[in-house]
Structure 1
């Protein structure tokens, strides 16, 4: 942009070509730290999560808990030029319009963005990191994070690729869940998690389920709750699904849901890995955490 260019949203000059292109606010003199997903790029579609999620869905943006791949732009001179938020007119970030409200780059009032850490998939909005086990793939994102392993042709649609195991985080409000308590959130989410992981044409639907766990836990220093089911499908592998809910380390008022889904198959990760990932969830670097960080 030139010094004569008017303030407004423009393609992010620091984009590396990895992940979706965001828009950055130009205040008329410099690039600010305010980012947004271009309105035309927002997809209002449901995304399967858990073991039954297709690989293509992992890398696409979705409003309801989808992942935005995040590139590490440290050292990029164009990115570094955005040294901090600046005043913006109404309708711009930090102004009084629809886009604003004094929010930081990730939309959280008054807080900077947590750092992406090696060995973790970072959910920037929620301020948590999911541990990435050896041999797994991790995706950090603005509106969620995920770790997956073991791609294979989906049993109900071999043109799609499924994963043997997956764990994904997202804000509970994106799923329109009851967020009065962590228990209420997890208990409400588990059936939807199971259906989206192992239902529909991919697995032919769920014929029955057994509840394996329903208990309080402490995650990233917050008091949460998890519910775990074993599900029996009509086609393909049966599976384990888990819905974990807890307040964000960044804000007690923001409830996070972490959905897990593992196939029950010799090629799938053992159920103990689900426990290990749950225990390893931490507050992301730069995000607040409460006392204690273990389950």
Structure 2
């Protein structure tokens, strides 16, 4: 250990090997409690896809009951640990939630996720390994696990504003707050700060012609996976197609209190869409991911 190494982000010496490698902030004399997923791991590439998502290479970027947006993620790093940073020229910067720019016209990075970072399939659940949670998959829904992000969808159909795109009647997706560029330090601030983005990306201009108005249905504290969280739920009115319900739920990861998790949900207002009670059931069923979830293949 050296006391002269300048402050900066460095590989977390306490990384357990479960989930993507994280970086911990070294303040120049000691390790702090601040953790982040390396920005290189949280690359984004916005694409619209149908229900068939390539297992294991998906990072949630945005979600909705209508169109949902996913991005590829890759991890080029080799997991390393150390007692203290020893290379002053290594990764550094001020403590912050990292942004994830769109890569200057590049795809944002494609690659294979090492097997040891693939979540192990757990019957009836979709696992978000980075967030440390498993989300129950209702009967008739499709669940997708991932190293960064997890999702559930049901009721695929052609989007009203662009029939070449695929929409879903109901969608529930999770990711670490920093992967969604939600800059907040509390669950309440994260949920309140994310709901408008969630609404726009779920039922916005390109697919539904835009949102003409919204009504707030819920803004309340809620316990999720044993953690004190917060949710905000809106009903949005669109120009084209169905209106929708959107919800942003935020809570500390049950695996790491320093990591905020955001769960975005969107349900069409339509007789063919799931009832809102299903969303409440899903929220109540979210749990801490199994400690064994660190290997295996997704389905």
TM-score, L = length of structure 1: 0.66
Query: Could you tell me how far apart the structure 1 residues matched to 2:173 and 2:119 are?
Result: 18
Please list every run of 5 or more consecutive structure 1 residues that lacks an aligned counterpart in the other structure: 1-31, 69-90, 100-105, 288-295
> 61, 64, 69: which one pairs with 2:72?
61
Residues 203-229 of structure 1 show CA distances to partners (whole Å, capped at 9, x for unaligned) of 000000000000000000100000000
In structure 2, the partner of 1:132 is 137
> 250, 255, 259: which one pairs with 1:250?
255
CA contact (8 A) 2:232 2:248 kept: yes
Given the superposition, is the C-alpha separation of residues 246 and 118 from structure 1 closer, same or farther in structure 2, using an over 3 Å criterion?
A: same
Answering whether residue 167 of structure 2 is matched by residue 162 of structure 1, we say yes
TM-score, L = length of structure 2: 0.65
> 63, 66, 76: which one pairs with 1:52?
66
CA contact (8 A) 2:20 2:129 kept: no
Given the superposition, is the C-alpha separation of residues 34 and 194 from structure 1 closer, same or farther in structure 2, using an over 3 Å criterion?
A: closer
How far 1:201 sits from its partner (Å)? 1.4
> 64, 68, 80: which one pairs with 1:94?
80
How far 1:161 sits from its partner (Å)? 1.0
Please list every run of 5 or more consecutive structure 2 residues that lacks an aligned counterpart in the other structure: 1-16, 22-37, 48-60, 92-112, 293-299
Answering whether residue 244 of structure 2 is matched by residue 239 of structure 1, we say yes
How far 1:176 sits from its partner (Å)? 2.3
Query: Could you tell me how far apart the structure 2 residues matched to 1:195 and 1:172 are?
Result: 17
> 118, 143, 151: which one pairs with 1:146?
151
Answering whether residue 194 of structure 2 is matched by residue 189 of structure 1, we say yes
How far 1:274 sits from its partner (Å)? 0.8
CA RMSD of aligned residues (A): 3.3
> 264, 270, 280: which one pairs with 1:265?
270
Query: Could you tell me how far apart the structure 1 residues matched to 2:254 and 2:273 are?
Result: 31
CA contact (8 A) 1:169 1:257 kept: yes
Given the superposition, is the C-alpha separation of residues 283 and 34 from structure 1 closer, same or farther in structure 2, using an over 3 Å criterion?
A: closer
Given the superposition, is the C-alpha separation of residues 156 and 247 from structure 1 closer, same or farther in structure 2, using an over 3 Å criterion?
A: same
CA contact (8 A) 1:34 1:93 kept: no
